[in-house]
């Protein structure tokens, strides 16, 4: 039995499908199945029911019991590795979509490194589903996501709502209100289910946007075309407008938003490491400060704020 087998088992359970779990782990489905079979043979019992008619992952009774041991083992393994590498340096690994890391949280990360001299930050950008998988595998300490998923092992805390605004480059377009916007001229990025629901109610999304992007870095370039427009969180519009004053916001009485959530593994945070607690509380204070500045609406409960 090895760590690789345990991580593979945990990913299968978390994703709910061997085929999709193999994509997350960047291995073939046959390789992942072999790891699971090898683990079951070594343990001497079946962890997951398989057979005709079974479409979703079903843990056996022993599999459910073993899942708890797996989570505890991986959490303990990470603590041991941190202790072995450096018992003075505090390390936090954070994953979030690129738009969150590069724009909304940039000032937070800078302040964190200034205020906590002994803190080592590892910041990486991933899709929401990948962030959940990495937190579950103890490859990330914290994740910040715009699309929450159900997980029995991961705590999901609503953080904030950030306004989504509509922008265009006035050298190429001239918009006065949202009714003038056509989906066929849109430079589209996925901003999470809260915004998507609003957009589906406002526009006929049977039309296809002009361009689909997976990151905001190219937004400014693609807005430099006739009739082009894009929706974007307020923090991104502020950055684009500062870099290019021609990027204008359409004044609207509509108030769509994207939501962000903090996630972490329950067993990892239960260890009570001070660095984890400090990070979480610093993040909460940052969100509350942004709320006071009108940059977002905090979703933190009174209990969490304490």
- List the single range of 20-24, 52-56, 186-190, 207-211 with lowest mean pLDDT: 52-56
| Nearest of 159, 160, 158, 151 to residue 267 by alpha carbon | 151
Residue 303's pLDDT band, with cuts at 50, 70 and 90, is very low
Query: Is the model's pLDDT at 89 over the cut of 80?
Result: no
The predicted structure's pLDDT at residue 84:
66
Residue 169's DSSP bridge partners are 247
Task: Write the DSSP assignment of 29-81 as a string of letters.
Answer: HHHHHHHHHHHHHHHTS-SEE-STT--S-EE-HHHHHHHHHHHHHHHHHHHHH
pLDDT tens by residue, 204-248: 778 889 999 988 989 999 999 999 999 999 999 999 999 999 999
The predicted structure's pLDDT at residue 122:
92
Residues recorded for the chain: 306
State the Cα angle at 142 between 141 and 144, rounded to 5°.
Answer: 160
Q: Whole-prediction pTM value?
A: 0.73
Percent of the chain with pLDDT over 70: 92
CB-based burial label for 197 (10 Å; 0-12, 13-18, 19+): exposed
């Amino acid at each position: 039995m090895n760590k690789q087998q345990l991580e593979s088992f945990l990913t299968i359970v978390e994703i709910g499908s061997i085929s999709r779990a193999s994509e997350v782990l960047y291995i073939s489905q046959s390789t992942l199945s072999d790891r699971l079979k090898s683990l079951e043979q070594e343990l001497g019992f079946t962890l997951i029911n398989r057979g005709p008619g079974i479409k979703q992952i079903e843990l056996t009774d022993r599999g459910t019991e073993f899942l708890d041991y797996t989570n505890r083992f991986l959490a303990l393994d990470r603590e041991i590795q941190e202790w072995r590498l450096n018992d003075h340096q505090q390390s936090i690994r954070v994953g979030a979509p690129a738009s969150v890391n590069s724009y909304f949280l940039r000032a937070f990360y800078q302040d964190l490194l200034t205020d906590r001299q002994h803190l080592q930050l590892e910041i990486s950008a991933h899709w929401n589903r990948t962030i959940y998988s990495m937190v579950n595998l103890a490859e990330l300490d914290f994740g910040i996501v715009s699309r929450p998923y159900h997980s029995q092992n991961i705590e999901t805390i609503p953080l904030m709502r950030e306004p989504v605004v509509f922008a265009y480059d006035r050298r190429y377009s001239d918009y006065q209100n949202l009714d003038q916007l056509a989906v066929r001229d849109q430079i589209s990025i996925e901003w999470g289910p809260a915004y998507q629901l609003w957009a589906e109610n406002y526009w006929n999304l049977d039309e296809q946007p002009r361009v689909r992007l997976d990151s905001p870095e190219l937004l400014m370039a693609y807005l430099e075309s006739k009739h082009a427009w894009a929706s974007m969180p307020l923090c991104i519009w502020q950055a684009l407008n500062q870099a290019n004053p021609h990027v204008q916001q359409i004044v609207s009485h509509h108030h769509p938003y994207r939501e962000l959530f903090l996630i972490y593994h329950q067993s990892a945070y239960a260890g009570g490491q001070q660095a984890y607690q400090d990070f979480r509380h610093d993040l909460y204070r940052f969100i509350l400060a942004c709320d006071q500045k009108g940059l977002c609406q905090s979703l933190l409960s009174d209990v969490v704020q304490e």
